[in-house]
Structure 1
Amino acid sequence: MKTRQNSKRDEREQRVREDLAAAYRLIAHFGLDDSIDTHISARVPGTRDQFLINPYGLLFQEITASSLVKIDTEGRILERTDHVVNPAGFVIHSAIHQARHDAECVAHTHTVAGVAVASLACGLQPCNQWALQFHRRIAYHAFEGIAVDLEERARLVADLGTYRAMILRNHGLLTCGSSVAEALILMLNLDRACRVQLAVQASGQAPHPLSDDVCDLTASQYEQWEGISQADGDDPYRREWDAYMRRLNPTTTSYLD
């Protein structure tokens, strides 16, 4: 990939870098990472074709604000770096940032629970409160092999549509949000939904049934809560994000470097 030097970083970009680095650390903290694989990306503020992503080869617990790689949707690295980008990460994240201008952050994981549910024919079931956040609000994308084919981008974004969450069949989970906080918290909740479902299935007992009306009501309540917060000018996920920062910061602030 070609490299070109970009202009001096502004305060908005630095804030996004710090949030994104913190998200990587939180994914590692909660054990949702997969060695040096999987990715979280964030759009560079004020752009439509540039995003930040992890340097390929670093553990999530090692990622800092300054180590993130700035790249565009054509695959050009925009600032001098000693790192490269995982080609599969570029394909998945460039596709969504290019097509979904509301997706400021995109998170992708290979958790055991997420991959397990992605490998089940039934997919995610509405059997718990976390799952109901995604009721009728989650997409599915068929497995096509390791995501290194640029032609898959069109199919991936077509399957995602306007949703903020997607199960990559036989592969893992994906969420996107209007902020790093939103994408990360959606991912944490989606993974929790998968873990509860697997625990229920492992019990051998039938899950307690929920009516379609209750499922739809609960999903709409999540949507209403988000809408009310946004109408008040708030990021509905920021309060929970700030709580996670308090959990992370007593352990380390090295992600700010």
Structure 2
Amino acid sequence: MKYILAFLTLLLTLPASAAQLTIELDHASKTWQTADLLKHPDVRTVQIINDVSYKRQMTYRAVPLAVLLPGLTPQNHVQAVALDGFAAELSAGPLLERTGAQAWLAVEDPAHPWPKLGDDKPSAGPFYLVWTDPQAGHISPEQWPFQMSAIKQLKTVAERFPALLPDPELAPDDPINQGFALFQKNCMACHRLNGAGDAQVGPDLNIPYSPTEYFGGDFLKRYIRDPQSLRHWPQAKMPAFAASVLPDSELDLLVGYLKHMAGRKQ
């Protein structure tokens, strides 16, 4: 028995294993190993003042994401896929910026693993998309995917999932279409709607019912602001969306889109 315990103790003290990240672009595909990224000529030590996942200051070895996405243009669209099924939909434009809000691929060193995200939870590794000066680009928490395993260039959300589209008669700048853009940015990483989407974390937001149909008054907005204030349980995963991340005006647009789609069930 003592030998088994000794072996288990040894396993727990071993460093995290190396990992790989696959980047699939239309014109190229490459799989990066942890060691290769840590030796990348552009790797830097970056300090994140207010890390979204760790809720404190963190320091990482990281590579500017733009250098890992050769040939992409700001009009392109990518999806960051996490090990747990989280699928963040990301416009390429912000990822390619070299000034202001800048995207970095933080790489977990197996010899120096990052802290756990909580009790009985892993770290944010092996790969984590972090941002320096995020307020300059109005970067939302859903644009900080962690435990990433792949980055894929895809068609836009509207092209891939027509079931998400508002009434085509609406003008492009209609508030409902503005709300649709916010839904893509803030909700699609965890939720589907009308069965459409790639996320596997949260429930569908229209089938069988839209939350606008069962949350009365302003309770839906309060729930989005702070889910734990209305439904408190330890296993809850939905983050709070503070006004600094999702201003009241944008929250109104998002809820407007959800109300509109409640009449467009598929």
Give me the TM-score of the superposition, normalised by structure 2.
Answer: 0.30
Bigger relative contact order, structure 1 or 2 (CA pairs below 8 A, ≥6 apart): 1
More helix by share: 1
Structure with max Cα Rg: 2
Give me the TM-score of the superposition, normalised by structure 1.
Answer: 0.31
More strand by share: 2
